[in-house]
Amino acid sequence: MRAIHIPQLLKQPGKTQVVEVGEHLEGLETLTPVRGEVRVTHQGSYLEVQGRGEAIVTLTCDRCLQNYNHRLETNSKELIWLREPLEEADYPLEREVSREDLVETLPPHGYFHPQDWIYQQLCLALPQQQLCQADCGGIAVDGSDAVTEVDRRWAALAQLKASLPEES
């Protein structure tokens, strides 16, 4: 997937470029290539990015530690502000950390990387709790065997008792 040169977007029809995704992404292990698309529109002061992607991943269940396959999907939209990164000295000294600081920004003459973007979205879509099934009982403790074990010992005891001469 090629990086998109942000100023070039302005020359595209509708100031929009659509990038097809159909490959394995570096850093994200998937059984199937990631399929989807990323649509980027230049809105003047910001980029509007919309994208979807899906792939099958193998996860390890948090409870029973078995591997299972999971369909990882994302369908998201993000606004990325276009502005030059500020030098440290440009910040007011006692600057409050505002919400704006947390928003993604890109330099207006820089590049947008669709591959990185879809990678991040898919990582965010990974389940926090990984369970092979909602009611996974965890690592199997074979309770029935334990009971049988006790039963067998009782049986042996009963046998022993039977073989002893009856008390008169």
Phi, psi of 75 (to 5 degrees): -150, 95
The one among 39, 63, 70, 113 contacting Zn ion by CB under 5 A: 63
Q: Which of residues 103-132 bind Zn ion (CB under 5 A)?
A: 132
Q: Which of residues 9-48 bind Zn ion (CB under 5 A)?
A: none
Q: Is residue 70 within the footprint of Zn ion (CB under 5 A)?
A: no
Q: How far apart are CA 90 and CA 50, in angstroms?
A: 32
Given the complex with Zn ion, which of 57 and 132 has the nearer CB atom?
132
The one among 28, 59, 64, 125 contacting Zn ion by CB under 5 A: 64
Nearest distance, CB of residue 132 and Zn ion, angstroms: 4
Q: How many Cα neighbours within 13 Å face the side chain of 167? A: 1
Strand partners, 100: none
Phi-psi region of 44 (alpha: psi -120 to 50; beta: other; left: phi over 0): left
Given the complex with Zn ion, which of 61 and 80 has the nearer CB atom?
61
Token couple for 127? 């389940």
Q: Which residues bind Zn ion (CB under 5 A)?
A: 61, 63-64, 132, 136
